[in-house]
Structure 1
């Protein structure tokens, strides 16, 4: 994935919360036995991309990581142009967020509203859904409409523990999946979730739809533009797409269960099988429409 060197990056929706206090526990790991919560429509929930659909303690206590903590940092200060994204992994994150913002604003029109923030952190973070540690992996919190990301997840969990791919387009796919959850929040789809576990559950359909939405953005990424009309993404290759598919496969519930417990139990699935995750990403990539990504209307997913 390459970016137009002349594209101007907007850092306004990206920030860093730094290192949290307590609950970090020495970096990312695969969570074990996370509780599965009730209906999304009536509570604030934490949507964790890889491992579980989890309710976190009520409404939280701060409405996010804290604006002073997020805004008062220098992590993204050097991210001004696409040329910076071509040289700096942090700036890639800004560029991808900008591309997702432009794509979904065009796709949803008047219904669209942007995320409040993409927040990177270490160890733990205060969110509108409660306190979260690095152990939960990347997630979207509907309570404050923010995406949270401990970047150590990709090396420590996805690659080393789950045997997934490394680098390249992988993080972009993850961010696109999480932005897909924001789109679901905007459209009210989260309120459709009633069943929380099982291969055909609403929770699984929600996650597979987010994968499909990630595919939609991938299909159109090279058409997205900055505020001045400059193309943001100048190149997206088949290798990038293959990396996204490999990541989707690695984080299927069946693959995770095989690696962590030695057996597959479909009745506890919350995110879908490896085959389903890659298939729905490909559906979004090939079809490119919200209708094609309606997992809730599909007889089986």
Structure 2
């Protein structure tokens, strides 16, 4: 899914570098997010506190990146977004702002307020505490910011077997903004209230963010960019959808568990299976409807109605 080359990247849409760490609430992992490190730590018998400390500020001696610069200077147009991952993250966020700015009030009556977007390298201080690149992309409800170290996208392909196409990367950004939609609709705390298990609030929260990413994809190649008659993105192809499904599959709990220990333990799930993540993305993509993403009321997480 490539961008129309003439789209303009907002120099103020993103910030770069560290930020004030206030500690406290745990951030939510993204396409893989905290899942990569946390699940492997739990499965292999490590101390989860050593991982969670990255989000609470406990015992961290990591250097945080400094400064609060804006969008990287080389990110000017859609052509740059098609060439550079950091530019792609920013322009994807702008596309998400356009889609959700129209669809959230129309479908739910809630005014969309754009999340902040921060690009960092190595480590960053957030409203949820300190985090390192090992955690992957994540969303912090405390400061309503989505954080990205773009080196993660190479990991998504090299370590987790995703196809690596543009929509695979854009899906991750859309998933994180999906957590922001949950914050606006008042659902975000359901993950922490029921944090583990195949039917848990955590899994339902992550699958809903996948579904919201699908809702964005439904409209992304149709909604005109502000001041333009063209959408940010060119029409979706079957290959684009396969790329997104590949990314969703790559970070399923069952796939990561099987790779780590050779067996699957649903009682330890936090994000859902590969099959579930693909199906809920498709539920959002095929319907374009927020109400198709009600994972909390779903009787079966394996068979969302909108994915059929």
Deviation at 1:76, TM superposition (A): 1.9
Deviation at 1:294, TM superposition (A): 0.4
2:76 maps to 1:95? no
Deviation at 1:261, TM superposition (A): 1.6
Pick from 28, 31, 50: which aligns with 1:47? Answer: 28
- Contact kept, 8 Å, 2:211 with 2:285, in 1: the verdict is yes
1:51-85 CA deviation, whole Å, 9 max, x = no partner? Answer: 159683279xxxxx89x7122x6x62232222332
1:212-233 CA deviation, whole Å, 9 max, x = no partner? Answer: 0001111110123333134211
Give 1:163-202 correspondences, 5 Å limit. Answer: 163-193=161-191, 194-202=193-201
Aligned to 2:141: 142
How many residues get paired? 269
- Determine helix, strand or coil for the equivalent of 1:299: coil
- Contact kept, 8 Å, 2:104 with 2:111, in 1: the verdict is yes
Structure 1 or 2: larger helix share? 2
2:270 maps to 1:270? yes
- Contact kept, 8 Å, 2:85 with 2:150, in 1: the verdict is no
Structure 1 or 2: larger strand share? 1
Q: TM-score with structure 2 length normalisation?
A: 0.81
- Contact kept, 8 Å, 2:86 with 2:150, in 1: the verdict is no
Q: Which runs of 5+ in 1 are unaligned?
A: 21-42, 60-64
Deviation at 1:192, TM superposition (A): 3.2
Q: TM-score with structure 1 length normalisation?
A: 0.82
User: Cα RMSD between the aligned structures?
Assistant: 2.4
Deviation at 1:12, TM superposition (A): 1.6
In structure 2, how many angstroms separate the alpha carbons of the residues matched to 1:180 and 1:296?
Answer: 15
Q: Which runs of 5+ in 2 are unaligned?
A: 40-51, 59-63, 302-308
In structure 2, how many angstroms separate the alpha carbons of the residues matched to 1:225 and 1:126?
Answer: 35
